[in-house]
A and B are shown apart, each in its own frame.
Chain A
Amino acid sequence: MSIAIARPPLPSQDKRWKLVEATIRRHGYAGDALIEALHTVQECFGYLDEQALRYVAAALRQPLSKVFGVATFYHHFTLKPQGEHTCVICMGTACYIKGAPAIIAAIEEKHGVKPGQTTADRKLSVLTARCLGSCGLAPAVVFDGAVAGRIGQAEVLKRLETLLEAKKA
């Protein structure tokens, strides 16, 4: 006789939850799939909210405290929703000595946001990365997932302008 283990219901009708469940199922609902499951949630939803953490905890039968602990331990996971556009400035050694701090200062002056913050209109999130591994192209900045290398402050501000304009039109 097999005992059916109760699986928690999906938090909502949103189809993206099926992808999350698929990841968890692929790992046999085992506790060690926690990080993989959180990766899928963040890929699908952009960030981890309380509902997601509770669902993942229930599905993997892990204490919520552990799930919260893991979600906040790793830099890659974010508990806050991101803006429409993201701009990630690499702060690796090579980028640092080639002028990444000046880029951050320029963005802060123009758009009024520090790394880790999102503009009030939720259009732009500014983030920093530890190292993108594009050191040969330092300084590197990632605009909405596309890496741009050997980029100066002026060029960064111009690219941001275009990015923000594009959505308005």
Chain B
Amino acid sequence: MTPEELSKIVTIEQDTQRQYKHCVRVCVAAGCISSRSDEVQQALEQEAARLGIDKACQVKGVGCMGLCAAGPLVTVDGEKTMYRQVKPEDAGEILASLDGEPVKRLACPTDVPFFTRQRKIVLENSGAIDPERIEEYIAADGYSALLDALTTMTPPAVIDTITRSGLRGRGGAGFPTGLKWSTVAKAGGGGQKYVICNADEGDPGAFMDRSVLESDPHRVLEGMAIAAYAVGANKGYIYVRAEYPLAVKRLKTAIRQAERLGLLGSNIFGTTFSFTAEIRLGAGAFVCGEETALIASVEGKRGTPRPRPPYPAESGLDGRPTLINNVETFANVPTILRKGAEWFAAIGTEKSKGTKVFALAGSVANTGLIEVPMGITLREIIYEIGGGIPDGKKFKALQTGGPSGGCIPAQHLDMPVDYDSLAKVGSIMGSGGMIIMDESSCMVDVAKFFMEFCRTESCGKCVPCRVGTAQMHDLLCKITDGRAGMADLQLLEELSDLLKSASLCGLGQTAPNPVLTTLRYFKDEYLAHINEQRCIAGACAHPKQAEVEAAV
């Protein structure tokens, strides 16, 4: 592959696109596929062929359009006309309307806050390009950042750009990406190094990484290749959950295509830089999201973490310096290089730059995937973009960061979303899952749910986490059953403190967060369970409460 060949692919692809008068895009990411969007795509293709307009109208499957709640989604000629809950039977009507008025019955307005308030960097190609064709990614400026980096920039210059952009790790903890890259670059003088992409999205309630991999896999590969060049690595692994078969399939296709065009492999763009990428499947262990456990799993071992230091940046896979970043972090890299560090740094807040992809789920009207600039308030996300709470119910709490995060009450809704503000109220940014809960959710029950999760997912290596999560879970069960006293509440607080300070890895250290935040903001619910054997939300079945109700 030479630079000329790359621009030739762009020209050919753009010419092909121009031959079509219309383009009908069908979302074929996992969300819409489970509402049968693959059949919709098939029906549209067959109908176009039957009408003999398949030379003028292109039907293609694209990545996630965001509004999963209304799937299957279809757009016609760009984003202006969007259809919701399309069925295969609607194919004829949609194609017949191409040159006239859009089909009113199916229309999904796109001038609403859900679409207009978003700012797309990571998701810029999602819903626009076919994730299974590398040509479309290249035509959308894809791999041009890699070309620029390899031919016009030195590795330190690439790292400098990332550092100046202020990009922080999107996996949850928010470590400065540039700093991580320079540590790996400086480590181990010239030997073998690795780059690993962490796509082990284990937080229940998070599906951002899956969507990125399903919608735009080449962006992640390009980001990894740039990172490898910057830190001096030539081999990369992508560690993906086995629960995401579609993401794995599209990633495999993407790697094969990139290898065929010479965008992965030896001497990329005729330079001395070589880089290969390989997929490693996870096997369902939440703890493998922790970097040292992930490395053990890539090595084919049980995924147990080890004490740090040494950090993977110095001694990781195979004992070699290893760079581990999250999917979304890598996905930001090509755009930062293309548009410049200053452009990126101008988005967001002082300490949290750029955008963040969130997965909205739970009790909210518009469930789905959104990308918003850092610094937006939680209220804007829930009530404007998310469309508020359905069925006239009242907002109770927002859960971010999964089992490591916390529940944020209504009084903090006007807080800006960035790493530091979220930490201040006891939660974390996490990988980006946002679960909205209404008044029918019992917060003690939610805390119990997460503690049960941590209890089963604890790898068992260190005692505080292995025994502590079990003890805390038992105490929470006692509370929701109405068997607990005030001494149990105190014990719960003491154990929280113990797990936080004494656990080996992030799983145990953050496991008490859901308990601590619910204790801080919803203590009345704990007290009602303990003192009155009553669940305020009516979610937990208390034996005593049932008796009272039966008597009435």
Q: Say whether A associates with B.
A: yes
Known contacts: A73-B285, A93-B435, A97-B446. The answer to whether A136 contacts B207 by CB under 8 A is yes
A133 contact from B243, B368, B449, Cβ within 8 A: B243
Q: Are A75 and B210 in contact (CB under 8 A)?
A: no
**Stretch touching chain A among B28-36, B48-56, B128-136, B186-194:** B28-36
A97 contact from B244, B285, B359, B435, Cβ within 8 A: B435
Report the bound CA distance from A161 to B140 in whole Å: 48
Q: Are B283 and A133 in contact (CB under 8 A)?
A: no
Residue-wise interface mask of A (105-145) relative to B, using a CB-CB cutoff of 8 A (1 in contact, 0 not): 00000000000000000000000011111111110100000
Q: Are B299 and A32 in contact (CB under 8 A)?
A: yes
Give the residues from 376 to 401 in chain B that come closer than 8 angstroms, CB to CB, to chain A.
Answer: 399
Report the bound CA distance from A136 to B368 in whole Å: 5
Taking CB atoms, residues of chain A closer than 8 Å to B441 are: 97
Q: Are A137 and B35 in contact (CB under 8 A)?
A: yes
Q: Are A133 and B286 in contact (CB under 8 A)?
A: no
B362 contact from A36, A98, A147, Cβ within 8 A: A98
Known contacts: A69-B302, A131-B206. The answer to whether A93 contacts B283 by CB under 8 A is no
Closest CB-CB distance, B289 to chain A, in whole Å? 12
Most chain B CB inside 10 Å of its own CB: which residue of A31, A132, A133: A133
B interface residues (Cβ-Cβ under 8 A, vs A): 30-31, 33-35, 68-69, 71, 201-207, 210, 242-244, 280-286, 297-303, 359-363, 367-369, 399, 402, 433, 435, 437, 441, 446, 449-450, 453, 457, 459
Taking CB atoms, residues of chain A closer than 8 Å to B297 are: 35
Report the bound CA distance from A103 to B429 in whole Å: 31
Closest CB-CB distance, B278 to chain A, in whole Å? 10
Report the bound CA distance from A96 to B453 in whole Å: 12
Taking CB atoms, residues of chain B closer than 8 Å to A66 are: 301
Q: Are B283 and A38 in contact (CB under 8 A)?
A: yes
Q: Are A138 and B284 in contact (CB under 8 A)?
A: no
Report the bound CA distance from A96 to B363 in whole Å: 11
B301 contact from A38, A70, A77, A146, Cβ within 8 A: A70
A76 within 8 A of B: yes
B361 contact from A135, A146, A147, Cβ within 8 A: A135
Known contacts: A130-B284, A133-B30, A133-B244. The answer to whether A94 contacts B362 by CB under 8 A is yes
Question: Can you list 8 A-B contacts (CB < 8 A)?
Answer: A31-B299, A77-B283, A93-B435, A130-B453, A131-B206, A133-B244, A135-B207, A136-B369
Nearest CB in chain B to that of A36: its residue: B281
Known contacts: A39-B242, A133-B243, A149-B34. The answer to whether A97 contacts B437 by CB under 8 A is yes
Nearest CB in chain A to that of B33: its residue: A147
Known contacts: A39-B242, A138-B362, A148-B34. The answer to whether A93 contacts B286 by CB under 8 A is no
Taking CB atoms, residues of chain A closer than 8 Å to B450 are: 93
Nearest CB in chain B to that of A70: its residue: B302
A10 within 8 A of B: no
Nearest CB in chain B to that of A146: its residue: B34
Q: Are B402 and A130 in contact (CB under 8 A)?
A: no
Taking CB atoms, residues of chain B closer than 8 Å to A77 are: 283-284
Q: Count of A residues near B, CB < 8 Å?
A: 38
* Nearest 4 CB-CB pairings of A with B: A136-B68, A74-B283, A92-B204, A135-B361
Known contacts: A136-B369, A137-B35. The answer to whether A96 contacts B302 by CB under 8 A is no
A52 within 8 A of B: no
A163 within 8 A of B: no
B298 contact from A32, A96, A138, Cβ within 8 A: A32
B207 contact from A70, A91, A98, A134, Cβ within 8 A: A134
Closest CB-CB distance, B18 to chain A, in whole Å? 34
Report the bound CA distance from A31 to B206 in whole Å: 32
Closest CB-CB distance, A29 to chain B, in whole Å? 12
Taking CB atoms, residues of chain B closer than 8 Å to A96 are: 204, 449
Taking CB atoms, residues of chain A closer than 8 Å to B301 are: 34, 66, 70
Q: Are A130 and B449 in contact (CB under 8 A)?
A: no
Q: Are B300 and A137 in contact (CB under 8 A)?
A: no
Q: Are A133 and B435 in contact (CB under 8 A)?
A: no
Closest CB-CB distance, B368 to chain A, in whole Å? 5
Q: Are A149 and B300 in contact (CB under 8 A)?
A: no
Most chain A CB inside 10 Å of its own CB: which residue of B205, B297, B360: B205
Closest CB-CB distance, B453 to chain A, in whole Å? 8
Report the bound CA distance from A97 to B436 in whole Å: 10
Q: Are B204 and A94 in contact (CB under 8 A)?
A: yes
Nearest CB in chain A to that of B369: its residue: A136
Closest CB-CB distance, A48 to chain B, in whole Å? 11
Taking CB atoms, residues of chain A closer than 8 Å to B299 are: 31-32
Taking CB atoms, residues of chain B closer than 8 Å to A133 are: 30, 201, 206-207, 210, 243-244
Report the bound CA distance from A120 to B543 in whole Å: 32
Closest CB-CB distance, A23 to chain B, in whole Å? 11
Most chain A CB inside 10 Å of its own CB: which residue of B243, B282, B298: B243
A33 within 8 A of B: yes
Residue-wise interface mask of A (32-59) relative to B, using a CB-CB cutoff of 8 A (1 in contact, 0 not): 1111101100000000000000000000
Q: Are A131 and B204 in contact (CB under 8 A)?
A: yes
Taking CB atoms, residues of chain B closer than 8 Å to A73 are: 285, 302-303, 459
Taking CB atoms, residues of chain B closer than 8 Å to A132 are: 243
Known contacts: A32-B298, A36-B281. The answer to whether A94 contacts B303 by CB under 8 A is no
Q: Are B300 and A76 in contact (CB under 8 A)?
A: no
Nearest CB in chain B to that of A75: its residue: B284
Taking CB atoms, residues of chain B closer than 8 Å to A147 are: 30, 33-34
Other CB < 8 Å A-B pairs besides A75-B284, A96-B449, A148-B34, 17 of them?
A35-B283, A74-B285, A76-B242, A77-B284, A92-B205, A93-B205, A93-B361, A93-B433, A94-B435, A97-B441, A97-B446, A98-B363, A130-B202, A133-B30, A134-B31, A134-B34, A149-B35
